[in-house]
A = this chain, B = another copy of it.
Amino acid sequence: MESDWIRGFALRLGAPPPRVLRGIGDDAACLQVPEGQNLLWTTDSQREGVHFRWDWMSPEDVGYRLFIANLSDILAKGGVPYAALSAIGVPAGFPEADLMSFYEGLAQVSHRFDCPVVGGDIARSPDGFNAVLSLLGTASPGRFPGREGLSPGDSLFLVGTPGLARAGYLACRDCLFSNSLLSPAIEAFRRPRTYPWMADFVREEKALSAAMDTSDGLGQAVFEMAFQSGVSVLLDPPPGWLAHLEPFAGLLGQDPFRLAWQGGEDYDLLLGLRGDGEAGLGGLPVNLVSRIERCLEGTPARIVRIGSVIAGKTGDQQEKGAVLIKKPDGSVEPLERVGFDHTRN
């Protein structure tokens, strides 16, 4: 029964922090406003048969992944998580233990990020399980690294393990669970990484011109950022930037660049950084990069400069929003906009 499930979940979550004046159990939650801050707000979903299948991950993984998918958006904009609401559709006969396991996944992220779940909706789903989370964050006024912030001369950086979660998705799809060599990729797919240092970084580093997560694929993110900024982008990643993918790409018979470019399962960060006087060597923002490198120590994630922003009109590319790539032989080719779209499948 709905109210018993919710009481069980509330018990698992424990007492919320004082900013939660009313949590689970009424028509609406009531929160103190974070004085002197802005609110960031996002929503994201996990749907059985679209984002996951039950033979790919546990209910706990789905809850964890749902929360991280939302956190990733808030962190990409420099937000500090404030509170969350869930809205889930539960099929008839769905085991109560699985529902509690899903909530356990939410609770793990909630506790880790001090982000209380303050309420939600449970309804019957006529078909598969689906879950929506809505997440509020707080952010310093005047600092919002939007998708439209790129200018010519900016460098584009990627933070994360590009393509790794996509490799994990393909391993799940092809039922390659018994191959333990693929485990790191499968784990990256089930339990995406996030970058909680972004809140401080966004607040303090004025050379950050643009940021977004790559949850619709790196390719989509680069095109979207170029389009919204009204610039073109030249990709020129260093050799070996996808070395981490080689073993997985080999086992899966996939091209590493394709895994990284089209994958819509990674929650990596795409950052635009302005080279300025303070930033050191050759106009590149090396201090910022080393700051991020320190944040990433001890994790598999890395920061890589993948390209730079060029003026809108380049050669035959008359249109702003174009994305070009420099080939190993030095030639430059335009890329087509492709990538992950959760409305197709």
Contact = CB atoms under 8 A, between A and B. Distances in A.
Interface in A37-73: 37-45, 47-51, 72-73
B118 A41 contact: yes
A311 interface: no
B27 A76 contact: yes
Nearest to A228: B25
A174 interface: no
Copy count, this protein chain: 2
Q: Which of A40, A126, A134 has the most CB of B within 10 A?
A: A134
A130 interface: yes
Contact of A30 (B40, B47, B213, B344): B40
Given A26-B212, A43-B134, A87-B44, A2 B343 contact: yes
Interface string A110-130: 000000001111111111101
Interface string A126-155: 111010101011010000101100000000
Contacts of A139: 30
A11 interface: no
A1 B250 CA distance: 32
Contacts of A128: 126-127
15 contacts: A27-B212, A28-B74, A28-B79, A29-B40, A31-B40, A41-B85, A41-B118, A43-B87, A43-B132, A44-B121, A45-B89, A47-B126, A48-B126, A87-B132, A87-B134
Interface in A292-345: 341-345
B43 A119 contact: yes
A137 B22 CA distance: 14
Interface string A5-25: 100000000000000011001
Given A89-B130, A127-B128, A42 B21 contact: no
Q: Which 4 A-B pairs have the closest CB atoms?
A: A127-B127, A49-B126, A134-B134, A27-B73
Contact of A144 (B21, B85, B92): B21
Q: Which of A33, A37, A76, A341 has the most CB of B within 10 A?
A: A33
B137 A51 contact: no
B38 A120 contact: no
